[in-house]
Chain A
């Protein structure tokens, strides 16, 4: 099983992408998609050393919903900041201590931070203990860090690194 299907999650995702790309649900396309979904992870095995494991799928869905909601809010907030007076902005670099360890969880956190209210992740410390974040308007740096940790990091940790 492990040898023939190295990434069981990737196969249905790749098949779904193939079906979307062709915009069809014909049996031939489903078969071809599954074949590609099996073959691509198998041939690119060396680029994917770690196995992805989702511990709590419902938590992940909830996390996705929270992030989608935050994206809409982020857009409204950033739009208002852009239209306001630029002199009033107080940008700042804030460094967020990380408790996540796996590559996937850290990259997902960095991506989430980029998509949500007025923050862009800028640099990961070489020892992966700390993520540098640039905020567009930061009146209170500690509240920002606490918000990121509670809202995004905690669910990611539960989903991908549950003990």
Chain B
């Protein structure tokens, strides 16, 4: 039973990781490419890490909760790097399939407090 659950989690994780990177390779402009890796890889690596926590937790050497830390860290950092990348791309004025709105008058970096995730560790 445990092995079935483990196999399912590992396979899900690997498939989502693969699909995320496929999105990175396949989609046609930077902003759409951004979606694949940030979403698919968080769940992909997340379920791999849960599988690993289950695997080591049931081997009789005590509960293993290291992986929770890595998962948590990835879930906090992935959106921050996605936001920063989108901001950098807007700043550079990359070509986009969607109409890009006007750049605000004040430089977008004028307020360092405004980055998401700046103060939540």
A and B touch in the complex (CB under 8 A): yes
Residues of A within 8 A of B (CB): 17, 20-21, 23, 47-48, 71-72, 74-75, 78-79, 81-83, 86, 89, 91-93, 95, 103-104, 106-115, 118, 120-126, 128, 132, 134, 136
Interfacial residues, chain B to chain A (CB-CB below 8 A): 16, 19-20, 22-23, 26-29, 31-32, 34-36, 38-40, 42-43, 64-66, 68-69, 75-76, 78-80, 82-83, 86-87, 90, 96-101, 104-106, 108, 110-111, 113-120
* Cα A75 to Cα B17 with chains together (Å): 11
| Across-interface contacts of A111 in B (CB, < 8 A) | 76, 79-80, 83, 116-117
* B73 nearest CB across to chain A (Å): 10
Distance between Cα atoms of A97 and B116 in the complex (Å): 16
Residue in A21, A48, A82, A86 with the greatest tally of chain B CB atoms within 10 Å: A82
If A78-B40, A104-B119 are given as contacts, then 13 extra A-B residue pairs at C-beta distance below 8 Å, sorted by A number, are A20-B65, A75-B43, A82-B19, A86-B32, A103-B119, A106-B114, A108-B120, A110-B117, A111-B80, A113-B79, A122-B86, A122-B87, A126-B111
| Chain B residues touching A, majority SS | helix
Which listed residue, A72, A103, A125, touches B104 by the CB 8 Å rule? A125
Among the listed B16, B64, B111, B117, which residue makes an inter-chain contact with A107, where contact means beta carbons less than 8 Å apart? B117
